[in-house]
């Protein structure tokens, strides 16, 4: 009887783990045999991750942390920068703190370079201060973030890089 209860508990735990790890965007094909996707994770601090799938093997490339709210994928697209394919991901976080007079969203653009059949972080994109910001009321001030869609992000990146 104990073995049956233990086996049932393990089965239930594995089911709950699987059900909490769902793909939220993708898979998107970079080239034949290489894809990316974003998946929910069971980690409360980093509940979203970007994966690179190559030769039926998934590799976690990046994680997105909870910052006020949970991270949410706004857009994912590909673009070429200096003759190298890049994956661009826009993540947002809902922000609501009544005592601080905050009601809006935070945004951040992430970039990843696809080169030599690998995907790596594009530090120039990830560290660009203009590619993160807030939209809404923050501390009583109305803020606007310019780069909330693929078209505006592409135009900025192509103009700067």
- Say if 134 falls within a structural domain: yes
Tally the domains of the chain.
1
33: exposed, middle or buried (C-beta count within 10 Å: 0-12, 13-18, 19+)? exposed
pTM of structure: 0.85
pLDDT at 27 over 60: yes
In a domain, 88, yes or no: yes
Q: What is the pLDDT of residue 62?
A: 98
Confidence grade of residue 15 (pLDDT, cut at 50, 70, 90): very low
| Within a domain: 8 | no
The mean pLDDT of the chain is 89
* DSSP H or E run through 72: strand 71-81
Residue 17 lies in a domain: no
DSSP secondary structure code for residue 134 in this structure: E
pLDDT in tens, 48-92: 999 999 999 999 999 999 999 999 999 999 999 999 999 999 999
**Range list of H helices, the chain:** 2-20, 123-126, 150-160
- Distance separating alpha carbons of residues 56 and 11, to the nearest angstrom: 25
Give the pLDDT score at 137: 96
Residue 86 has what DSSP assignment?
A: E
Paired sense of beta strands 57-64 and 48-54, if any: antiparallel
In a domain, 15, yes or no: no
Is residue 123 included in any domain, yes or no?
A: yes
Computed over its alpha carbons, how large is the radius of gyration of the chain?
Answer: 19
Query: What is residue 13's predicted lDDT score, i.e. its pLDDT?
Result: 44
Q: Map residue 111 onto helix, strand or coil.
A: strand
Q: Which residues pair with 79 in a beta bridge?
A: 86
Mean pLDDT of 98-119: 95
- The answer as to whether 106 is a domain residue is yes
pLDDT at 67: 93
Answer whether residue 140 is part of any domain: yes
Supply φ then ψ for residue 133, to 5 degrees.
Answer: 175, -170
Domain holding 124, by residue range, is 22-160
């Amino acid at each position: 009887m104990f073995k049956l209860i233990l086996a049932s508990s393990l089965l239930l735990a594995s089911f709950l783990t699987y059900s909490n790890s769902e793909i939220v965007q993708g898979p998107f094909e970079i080239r034949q045999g290489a894809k990316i996707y974003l998946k929910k994770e069971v980690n409360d601090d980093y509940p979203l991750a970007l994966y690179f799938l190559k030769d039926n093997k998934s590799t976690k490339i990046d994680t997105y942390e909870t910052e006020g709210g949970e991270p949410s994928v706004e857009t994912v697209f590909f673009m070429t920068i200096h003759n190298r394919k890049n994956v661009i991901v826009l993540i947002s976080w809902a922000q609501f703190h009544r005592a601080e007079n905050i009601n809006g969203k935070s945004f951040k653009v992430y970039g990843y370079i696809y080169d030599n059949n690998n995907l790596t972080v594009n530090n120039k994109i990830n560290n660009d201060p203009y590619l993160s910001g807030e939209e809404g009321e923050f501390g009583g001030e109305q803020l606007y973030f310019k780069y909330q869609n693929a078209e505006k992000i592409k135009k900025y990146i192509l103009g700067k890089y």
